[in-house]
Chain A
């Protein structure tokens, strides 16, 4: 069972910390993610790992709590989590808890925008000026033989983008994408064979299109990928939450 495996990992990691075997430490996520987990002081952990640590401690300290009950409640908590991808072939999703850390959305959005603007100016890239220049990104669609390019600056809303992508890739999935913003159709979409637009942001993460304000999306989108609905399921729960929050 995955949880038991993680508990063992914590015990091993504890010992390894003393011995400094950081290279052999088990970690979740893609093999190439080296350097993101530090052993001393602030160890970066996905939330599910620390939740399991809690289980470990309380089963030692309080004889009252039944470890199985704890397990059930912890698994319930997974509802709030985006699970880390275990399949290296798929793009990895971050383990995030809804509404944590408790920072106002306004502040989060401001800092994200400022950060991306900062990175742009530091890189001295051609996309420096935010108003005039174009923002071409590659668009791939699962099953299509060629990639295309779109200029995100040509559009003002997500709907315009979907319309354009629909026209570009013909009939497959355009209807599905139009229904994307409609909550009740979302689950149908993901369960069926329809298509879902995703994008790679400046951090290299694959995100579901539509979560963030349009301008912020344009500034952080590096490329687009129109995935088959069935493959996008891992990205869905958080988007559902945000989608509903935004409606």
Chain B
């Protein structure tokens, strides 16, 4: 079976980098399992409660890079209480105690305390890269520890975290000897920053390729920073406010002419639209543009900007671009692969400025489009069918109609046929989010056609258990299923309990599963944690099994019920 010496196999495995492939390799035989585990450096844990840190460390002695995800996806939308779990401290503690040579830590939706950051900064000599996405629980003091203690830090990337800002001194904590920075992103910080310290840091970081500033960095500072770092590939501006007649503005314009490596642009957290012409030359080479935090750019200013971006592959934008603006995108950005249109008024109800027209235009003009997130006012079956015909390459298709159960406004029919066309046409679809008026029929289509589907998000959809059953029985590759406010109950939940061990997790909130159903499921499946989240303390948790469960989150795990759950989470 294995005629090659282990060293040769190990060398071969070096070329296998995706964690899915490496997982597959490790299942071939015991010998390959051993070789693979002793050479794996990067580990991805999609659910931090599926396994314990000790077991990960034991299996992968050469661990250098760890990615962890904590809270379920719906935590992003306030459906999960803040202290539900996902604490990173025990992981960092275990890694430190076992003297793992950790170099990279990537966390998503986890609770990160200042203590964890401090422990992290002091425990791993070669630590190089910290990426935090949608995390919370820390302050700029924790960042100060990272800056001060991680001597070879290359990457500090903070994306959309809730950080308590104790104001700018953390950036001064990078020692003069720190010259290794490649990537620095602090756009999500809300407070002031020490501009002098920042400029000096940039000046002594010749390898800096990615820099995303926060709102507190004014235009003049941006100009001085760009003078020091013309080699930047990825730039996030902070404030872009100035008088276009000023000298500062002309200086910036001149400096930007020298920054011909910039391919990714974001920021404009506050902006004077008349200053935008300064970036037109940069736009010509851009492949990625994120204006989703720039509500100050709209109307003709936005359109003029887009018209300079002929090479764009990824665009994140607000819906104030309108259908007309999307038409301009369709005729200008022929290389577009990913589009995200966010609502500019997320608290409002049904006032989005884009409709099905914009999407149809995009699908007609951008043949390479494969990833979509689209918040819109309305959608029609006809439009979805057209989109499906124009673009059969979708891997991610997430549609959010602001009014969650809105039917096709022209025919008043549910959107079953439209989504049915999408799943039938897009054979490589891996992620799908539904909205609008939907019956069990759409789930029949999904079960029948969406063979590669890995993640499905359902809200206010379906008529009966049949809907959920179609999905569970049909989608062989399903990993994550999240459902809210849909009439699925115990019958659907308990039909094929073995299915859940092939999935990462299932979330059901405001559906029709009862405590009885959940308990029965938990009893039969010891390798699943079935969590009931009871925030309503008026109702005693286990009093009546026939009561409908408000929020249920179940996930496969090798380590049994977790011990850090708050009082209102019941693990059955």
A residues whose Cβ falls under 8 Å from a Cβ of B:
41-47, 50-51, 53-54, 57-58, 61-62, 64-65, 73, 76-77, 79-80, 94-108, 110-112, 114-115, 117-118, 183-184, 187, 215, 241-242, 244-247
Name B414's closest neighbour in chain A (CB-CB). Answer: A57
CB pair B439 A62 closer than 8 Å: yes
The yes or no answer to B463 lying at the interface (CB within 8 A) is yes
Name A51's closest neighbour in chain B (CB-CB). Answer: B405
CB pair B405 A94 closer than 8 Å: no
Given contacts A41-B378, A242-B78, contact A106 B162 (CB under 8 A): yes
Tell me, rounded to whole Å, the shortest Cβ–Cβ distance linking B442 to chain A. Answer: 13
Tell me, rounded to whole Å, the shortest Cβ–Cβ distance linking B252 to chain A. Answer: 21
Bound-state Cα–Cα, A187 to B535, Å: 14
Which of chain A's residues have a CB closer than 8 A to the CB of B548? 76
Which of chain A's residues have a CB closer than 8 A to the CB of B160? 104, 106-107
Tell me, rounded to whole Å, the shortest Cβ–Cβ distance linking A220 to chain B. Answer: 11
The yes or no answer to B400 lying at the interface (CB within 8 A) is yes
Bound-state Cα–Cα, A61 to B375, Å: 28
Q: Closest 6 A-B residue pairs measured CB to CB? A: A99-B77, A42-B377, A103-B346, A106-B160, A104-B76, A44-B350
Chain A interface mostly: helix
Known: A45-B349, A98-B79, A106-B160. 9 other contacts (CB 8 A): A41-B355, A41-B378, A73-B512, A101-B346, A105-B77, A114-B293, A118-B295, A241-B78, A242-B78
CB pair A99 B78 closer than 8 Å: yes
Chain B interface mostly: loop
CB pair B295 A114 closer than 8 Å: yes
Task: Flag B341-355 by CB within 8 Å of A: 1 or 0 each.
Answer: 011111101111001
CB pair B346 A107 closer than 8 Å: yes
Given contacts A62-B439, A104-B76, A107-B160, contact A245 B82 (CB under 8 A): yes
In B182-203, the 8 Å CB interface with A consists of: 188, 190
The yes or no answer to B510 lying at the interface (CB within 8 A) is yes
CB pair B342 A107 closer than 8 Å: yes
Task: Flag B405-438 by CB within 8 Å of A: 1 or 0 each.
Answer: 1110100101000000000000000000100010
Given contacts A96-B349, A107-B342, A111-B346, contact A57 B409 (CB under 8 A): no
CB pair B463 A246 closer than 8 Å: no
Which of chain A's residues have a CB closer than 8 A to the CB of B306? none
Which of chain A's residues have a CB closer than 8 A to the CB of B295? 111, 114-115, 118
Bound-state Cα–Cα, A244 to B78, Å: 10
CB pair B349 A47 closer than 8 Å: yes
The yes or no answer to B277 lying at the interface (CB within 8 A) is no
Tell me, rounded to whole Å, the shortest Cβ–Cβ distance linking B73 to chain A. Answer: 9
CB pair B405 A105 closer than 8 Å: no
Bound-state Cα–Cα, A62 to B463, Å: 9
Q: Could you say which of A54, A64, A94, A101 contacts B402, with CB atoms under 8 Å apart?
A: A101
The yes or no answer to B570 lying at the interface (CB within 8 A) is no
Bound-state Cα–Cα, A108 to B348, Å: 11
Tell me, rounded to whole Å, the shortest Cβ–Cβ distance linking B483 to chain A. Answer: 13
The yes or no answer to B137 lying at the interface (CB within 8 A) is no
Bound-state Cα–Cα, A141 to B102, Å: 58
| Count of chain B residues near A, Cβ 8 A | 61
Q: Could you say which of B292, B405, B433, B459 contacts A53, with CB atoms under 8 Å apart?
A: B405
Q: Could you say which of A45, A76, A110, A117 contacts B350, with CB atoms under 8 Å apart?
A: A45
Tell me, rounded to whole Å, the shortest Cβ–Cβ distance linking B150 to chain A. Answer: 25
In B277-306, the 8 Å CB interface with A consists of: 292-293, 295-296
Given contacts A41-B377, A244-B535, contact A103 B463 (CB under 8 A): no
Bound-state Cα–Cα, A107 to B80, Å: 17
CB pair A184 B537 closer than 8 Å: yes
CB pair B350 A43 closer than 8 Å: yes
CB pair A44 B346 closer than 8 Å: no
Choose among A96, A100, A106, A242 the residue with the greatest number of B CB atoms under 10 Å from its CB.
Answer: A100
Which of chain B's residues have a CB closer than 8 A to the CB of A246? 82
Name A97's closest neighbour in chain B (CB-CB). Answer: B404
Which of chain A's residues have a CB closer than 8 A to the CB of B464? 64-65
Tell me, rounded to whole Å, the shortest Cβ–Cβ distance linking B408 to chain A. Answer: 11
CB pair B78 A54 closer than 8 Å: no
Tell me, rounded to whole Å, the shortest Cβ–Cβ distance linking B323 to chain A. Answer: 11
Name A42's closest neighbour in chain B (CB-CB). Answer: B377
Which of chain B's residues have a CB closer than 8 A to the CB of A58? 439, 463
Q: Could you say which of A80, A94, A244, A245 contacts B485, with CB atoms under 8 Å apart?
A: A80
CB pair A104 B510 closer than 8 Å: no
Given contacts A110-B293, A246-B82, contact A41 B409 (CB under 8 A): yes
Q: Could you say which of A101, A118, A244, A247 contacts B343, with CB atoms under 8 Å apart?
A: A101
Task: Flag B507-527 by CB within 8 Å of A: 1 or 0 each.
Answer: 000101000000000000000
Tell me, rounded to whole Å, the shortest Cβ–Cβ distance linking A205 to chain B. Answer: 9
The yes or no answer to B269 lying at the interface (CB within 8 A) is yes
Name B403's closest neighbour in chain A (CB-CB). Answer: A50
Name A69's closest neighbour in chain B (CB-CB). Answer: B487
The yes or no answer to B498 lying at the interface (CB within 8 A) is no
Name A80's closest neighbour in chain B (CB-CB). Answer: B510
The yes or no answer to B38 lying at the interface (CB within 8 A) is no
CB pair B437 A106 closer than 8 Å: no
The yes or no answer to B161 lying at the interface (CB within 8 A) is yes
In B154-195, the 8 Å CB interface with A consists of: 160-162, 188, 190
For this complex, 24 residue pairs linking A to B, each with C-beta atoms less than 8 Å apart, are A42-B351, A42-B355, A45-B349, A45-B403, A47-B349, A50-B405, A50-B406, A58-B439, A58-B463, A61-B439, A73-B512, A79-B510, A96-B349, A99-B77, A100-B77, A102-B77, A104-B77, A105-B162, A107-B293, A107-B346, A111-B295, A112-B346, A183-B537, A187-B538
